[in-house]
Amino acid sequence: MRDVMLVVHFIGLAMGIGTSFAFMFLGIASAKMEKSEALKFSINSFALSKMGHICLALLIISGGYLMTPYWSVLSTMTLLMAKLGLVLVLILLIVIITMNAKKAKKGDAETHLKKIEPLGKISLLVGLTIIVLAVYIFH
């Protein structure tokens, strides 16, 4: 079962980081567009966020299972605690981005998209940091 969960975890990881990179490249593309066209393009690109939500669910479910042998010694593994803390930060960022994306679809897209852009960059950096920590911890 551990191998199955590890595969699920890696699939979720690929989907999650892929979503972050996709949004980064879509943001670069929209920056080259006319303002009204870029707003419409950015709002339509939020359909991609469903993949990010699915990946997050896969990561939480499989990660919880894969953490089973470590819960009892968690207090001695500071880097693992840092990694789990960053996972919570990432979840919070995704919730805030999702709330702003819904507001952008309802109106005043420009204001809400300006809030999302820096959060998206931070979430990409947090995600990459989580991966680096995981490789370091479980190597």
What pLDDT is stored for residue 18 in this prediction? 92
Question: Average pLDDT, whole number, for the chain?
Answer: 93
63-79 core/surface letters (b: 16 or more CB in 10 A; e: else) = beebeeeeeeeeeeeee
Asked if the model's pLDDT at residue 118 lies above 90, the reply is yes
What pLDDT is stored for residue 96 in this prediction? 95
pLDDT (average), residues 67-71: 93
86-103 pLDDT, tens digit per residue, is 999 999 999 999 999 999
What pLDDT band is residue 82 in, cutting at 50, 70 and 90?
very high
pLDDT (average), residues 4-23: 93
Distance CA 100, CA 12 (A): 23
Which pair of structure tokens corresponds to residue 53? 């939500």
What pLDDT is stored for residue 108 in this prediction? 84
Rg from Cα positions in the chain:
17
Asked if the model's pLDDT at residue 109 lies above 90, the reply is no
Distance of CA 55 to the CA centre of its chain: 8
The residue that leads in pLDDT, 116 or 107, is 116
